[in-house]
Amino acid sequence: MSLTPLHIETPLLRTSATYSKSGLPLWLKLDALQPSGSFKLRGVGLLCQHEVAKGARQIFCASGGNAGIAAAFAGRSLGVKVTIVVPETTSSEVRARIAATGAEVLVHGTVFDEANAHAVSLAAAQNAAYVHPYDHPLLWQGHATLIDEVVRAGAEFDCVVTSVGGGGLLAGIVEGLQRNGLSTIPVIAVETEGAASLNAAIAAKARVTLPAITSIANSLGARQVARHVFDLVDQHPIESVTVTDAEAVRACLKFADAHRVLVEPACGAALAVADVHAGLLSRFKAPLIEVCGGIGVSLAMLENWRAQYS
């Protein structure tokens, strides 16, 4: 089935070598400029389209933010009702943005797991479609299009740096690399301390469930990484690193000053690598950083974070 994408092809920029401590020119894939504000529209949009094509007239999704607004945007575009279940930790600003996009917002549970279970039960009770925010093959297929676009643009890159939450974006990037014949290009998977479920799983050699998410980068708030994503560590060159909340915030501020685009700390985590882990990037010549975006940011939030971590 051929479907017209709901996402757009986003710009690919090149920084100067002096932008970061890595001393390298960096490719930046600006998915913060997607209509929904983040990369999530790539995969969530595709999954919603397939559900509607199968007859769905209502969609349920659990999300702390970015997947929710992507599902809301997709539902509005497709003419179906969307209900987003958010945990209590989701800010009132993010709830309002999701609602303004046209979805009904329900608050349930103190963590994503509880919100997700409620969304699944509501979808089953109402014979509606359920859209997972990060753990579904169609999500990964949709997210892989960002690599397709970079390859089509003719950009030569030798590693990909990406933030990781539940792992849907990482899975999509790996799928994109593999389907473009780039299976040897490594992916640097970045998490903030306090939300590093992949890093903990790699250390334990088994999926673990974090007791809580303590990072401000709550878009990385998956207490356990998806099974498929954990398995990818043995199938593709993936290196896991962490940064602090303060380092992620500094990267957001630096990026806003340089490129006049706001991103949230979950995205700042990936951007921070070029400064915090400059030595790691020294093995490469042309890193590609996925600027995943995020709706959990505003000028006021950036100023508050600047004061908090100054």
For tokens 């508050």, name the residue.
304
Angle 67-248-100 (CA atoms, 0-180°, nearest 5)? 30
* Residue where the block lists tokens 């020294």: 282
Angle, vertex CA 68, rays to CA 34 and CA 148, nearest 5: 35
Residues 73/38, Cβ–Cβ less than 8 Å: no
Please tell me the distance from the alpha carbon of residue 112 to that of residue 95, in angstroms, as a whole number.
Answer: 14
Q: Domain residue spans in the chain? A: 12-39+137-308, 41-131
Q: Taking a C-beta distance cutoff of 8 angstroms, is the pair 104, 83 a contact?
A: yes
Question: Does 3.40.50.1980 match the CATH number of domain 41-131?
Answer: no
Place of tokens 């809301």: 72
Q: Rounded CA gap, 115 and 65, in Å?
A: 12
Q: Look at the alpha carbons of 255, 65, 287, 272 in this order and tell me if their dihedral is positive or negative.
A: positive
> For residue 65, what pLDDT is reported?
86
- pLDDT tens string, the chain, 310 residues long: the values are 568 999 999 999 999 999 999 999 999 999 999 999 999 999 999 999 999 999 999 999 998 789 999 999 999 999 999 999 998 888 888 899 999 999 999 999 988 889 999 999 999 999 999 999 999 999 999 999 999 999 999 999 999 999 999 999 999 999 999 999 999 999 999 999 999 999 999 999 999 999 888 898 877 778 899 999 999 999 999 999 999 999 999 999 999 999 999 999 999 999 999 999 999 999 999 999 999 999 889 999 999 999 998 7
Would you tell me which CATH number, out of the four given (3.40.50.280, 3.40.50.1100, 3.40.50.1820, 1.10.260.40), belongs to the domain 12-39+137-308? Answer: 3.40.50.1100
Q: What CA–CA distance (Å, rounded) separates 309 from 91?
A: 20
Q: What are phi and psi of 185, to 5 degrees?
A: -75, 125
Residue ranges of alpha helices (H) inside 209-277 are: 227-232, 245-259, 265-276
The CA distance from 291 to 11, in Å, is 10
Do residues 47 and 131 touch, judged by C-beta distance below 8 A?
yes
pLDDT at 60: 97
Give the pLDDT confidence score for residue 1 in this predicted structure: 54
Domains 12-39+137-308 and 41-131 equal at CATH topology level: yes
Q: What is the pTM of this model?
A: 0.96
Q: Which helix (H) or strand (E) holds 280?
A: helix 278-281
Contacts of 88 (CB under 8 A, 6+ apart): 107, 109, 110
| Phi and psi angles of residue 27, each rounded to the nearest 5 degrees, phi first | -85, 135
Q: How far is CA 116 from the centre of its chain?
A: 17
